[in-house]
Chains A and B, each alone.
Chain A
Amino acid sequence: MIEMKIALVGNPNVGKSTIFNQLTGLRQKAGNYPGVTVERKTGTFTHQQVKYQLIDLPGAYGIHPSSLDEEVVYRVLADPQNPNYPEKVVVIGDPFNLKRSVLLYQQIREMGLPAIFVINMIDEAERAGLVIDVQQLEKVLATKVLLTDARSGKGIDELRAALQHQPGEYAAAFDIPEEYAASVMQTKQITGARNNYNAWLTLSQKHHRYLPADQADELATLRKDQSINYHRLQIQETLARYTWLDQQLATTVKDTTKKRENATARLDKLLIHPFWGYVIFFALLLLIFQAIYTWSGPFMDAIDNGFAWLAAATSELLPAGPFNGLITDGIITGIGGIVIFIPQIAILFIFISLMEESGYMSRVVYLMDRWLKPFGLSGKSAVPLMSGAACAIPAVMSARTIENDKERLITILVTPFMTCSARLPIYIIIIGLVIPQTKFMGLDLQGLVLFGMYVLGVVAALGSAWVLKQVMKTSYKSYLILEMPTYKYPVVRNVLYNVWDKTMGFVLGAGKIILAISIILWVLGSFGISERFTNAEEIVRMENPGIDEEAFENRVQSERLEYSFLGSMGRAIEPVIEPLGYDWKMGIGLISSFAAREVFVSTMATVYSLGGTDDELTIRERMGAEINQNTRRPAYNFASGISLLLFYAFAMQCMSTIAIVRKETNSWKWTFIQLAFMTGFAYLAALLAYQMLK
């Protein structure tokens, strides 16, 4: 079968992902571009004996990159050696901003790539009274022009069929200005560019970090000798193209309506109102966190009870012995510890993707810019910070849309303070154990405390951003130019794909770690070499003469755990964590949490079930019944609970985040500073809280 690589390119907000989802359905996967961690979405489909591989490139306004996101687009399209270099490009445009989309199309054609042009959201355009002269546009663009409404699926079949279209001969719309002709020729010699326009693009580029060092040096010398200001070149090109487009496309789009009052304008009067806009935004946030807490409750209970029952039933069924323990205490308990978080994560992602889909997210950027700027952040940091409430990993990656280097670095460094979904289970369990279940001012007190934890994450993020802003110096200018699209009903399919994608990402990605750690914990907790481990039965008998049979069993179990490999590790760090109110068992939880926070609950479940004989208890009941052997008080009392909440709020305990920060910042220094600062701060905060509250 013939295979063909197709790239989807377009301005932001043109419905590119909706088209992508329509074309590929569930045959899509997310990965990364080599070298950079910009999320790469690819999908496949077959049409008339051709297997298409579709790449969804990040949104870009033009080919001249002004953010990392746009740099990815440039690098994929400019370099035929790039593994993602497409054989054909589909440029997606917006009927209301046709010139802007055509500008991008022309740049791509002039780079030497065949392309077809799609005008999406055609239904909205028709309702607004726009009439588009497709035939004329096809002539100007020298390619096939398709009209789609991806939300309803209109025009998608035609688009599939048109992928085989061979675009006609294309005449460049932009002539390289005379005064730069010589420099462009020189650039061409240096880089071996395919044509003059590609050489021009290289010459007008801010960074040359993707070029071999000697070429980059030669180019720098060339630019200096000829006193070429890359920024001027970009402006010159864009202005020239717009002049051309104004002439050529003057009659392509006819606006048949005189004046329209659109629903978006009416909604914006309220949603970005200088006062009500903020009230609504914060009310929405409060609603989200109340929803996460209350809606997920019944699901969590059901999952929790289900797994407790499954573990007990399996334990009955299998012959007693180490294998039984591995299955019930290790694997089933471990899987239960993953599955139980699915409801909250799904609810959170439903809200986040509804906000993105509807167009509200860009209003959040607008509303928050003024308030984030003093902290060295931009309004665009609002998106990573809010996604940080789901998971720091995609959040850190989403910071790539921030154009300014310093703002981007600060955003990356502080985003892990935001309360990610991995902290959520810990918060939910601890809050459930130490905060009474009452109402406060008509609101659920536990839900309010949870909201407070989210607020605390925000305060920590902003506070450290402010500190970083004072420390870091930059001469880069920061700016905000942001398009706010019309409000749209979210496409259910897009929301579901997104929620599915992110939830499965958690279950499979984090789940693998959780499961592996659960098994490792079980092994470490079930074996030991010290005398008190191997001779536990005799020692207990000797120390407690006349003990009854059930109590004897329990004592032997906990004796074994304490002197197993795992117990030794926990006891080794006990002196350090005792001032925070934790015992050695919780120490085990902390150790394993450094792989990923979310394993805390499942670790505690494994540890406590190893130390007991009763298999029917749920995770929560086990934790609630646990007694700290040092203080003789419940292990999860008010003081140690608050201390634990604070520790998890601030500490950097996620290997994946550390890895992604290293990749995104390309700096071990900043990665290490972040790790040390967060964890040190967490320790101090937890210490203070416990010592004051105990």
Chain B
Amino acid sequence: MSQYRSIASLSPGETGTIAGYRSNDIPIKVYEMGLLPGEVFTLTHRLPFNGPVCIRVKNNPNSIALRATEADLILIEST
């Protein structure tokens, strides 16, 4: 899956589609929250010094914050 980038590689304002996960060992919460393959989202905020990122799934007013390490586990097809 090396051709994929992860959420962590996006800059604020960029949009991506979730393609899969880097490992099977990711928290169940990622699934329960609906961050599933095919979901389209926008990275809205990033904090400096490798801080957490903030994404907003399409058509959802709520945001989801992810630590940089979790963001790096979720792979995207860039659009």
Listed in ascending order, the chain A residues whose CB lies under 8 Å from chain B are 13, 61-62, 64, 66, 96-97, 99-100, 103, 124, 128, 231-232, 234-235, 238-239, 242, 255, 262, 264-265, 268, 272-274, 362, 365-367, 369-370, 373, 379, 403, 477, 479-486
Contact = CB atoms under 8 A, between A and B. Distances in A.
Contact of B62 (A96, A103, A379): A96
A212 to B, nearest CB: 26
A479 B34 contact: no
Given A62-B28, A235-B24, A365 B65 contact: yes
B69 interface: yes
Contact of B70 (A13, A124, A370, A480): A480
A370 B60 contact: no
A99 B65 CA distance: 20
Contacts of A97: 34, 60, 62
A373 B32 CA distance: 24
Interface centre among A96, A100, A238, A264 (most CB of B within 10 A): A238
Nearest to A236: B31
Contact of A481 (B25, B59, B70): B70
A107 to B, nearest CB: 10
B64 A481 contact: yes
Nearest to A484: B63
Size class of the B contact interface (CB-based, 8 Å): 20 to 34
Interface of B: 24-25, 27-34, 36, 44-52, 54, 56, 59-67, 69-70
B40 to A, nearest CB: 13
Contacts, number: 118
B25 to A, nearest CB: 7
B18 to A, nearest CB: 12
A477 B63 CA distance: 23
Q: State the 7 A-B residue pairs at the shortest beta-carbon distance, nearest first.
A: A370-B51, A61-B32, A238-B31, A480-B67, A62-B32, A484-B63, A366-B65
Contacts of A124: 61
Contacts of A239: 31, 36
Contacts of A238: 28, 31-32
A401 to B, nearest CB: 12
A265 B44 contact: yes
6 contacts: A100-B32, A365-B65, A366-B52, A370-B50, A379-B65, A480-B67
Contacts of B56: 265
Nearest to B49: A370
Given A234-B31, A238-B28, 11 more contacts: A61-B33, A96-B60, A234-B28, A238-B31, A268-B54, A272-B47, A366-B47, A370-B51, A481-B30, A484-B54, A484-B63
B65 A262 contact: no
Contacts of B63: 264, 268, 483-484
Contacts of A103: 32
Nearest to A481: B29
A64 B70 contact: no
A617 B48 CA distance: 55
Nearest to B27: A479
Given A369-B51, A369-B52, A484 B62 contact: yes
A479 B28 contact: no
B37 to A, nearest CB: 9
Contacts of A274: 45-48, 51
Contacts of A62: 28, 32
A100 B25 CA distance: 21
Contacts of B31: 234-235, 238-239, 242
A370 B50 CA distance: 8
Contacts of B30: 481
Contact of A262 (B46, B47, B51, B61): B61
A99 B61 contact: no
Contacts of B47: 272, 274, 366-367, 370
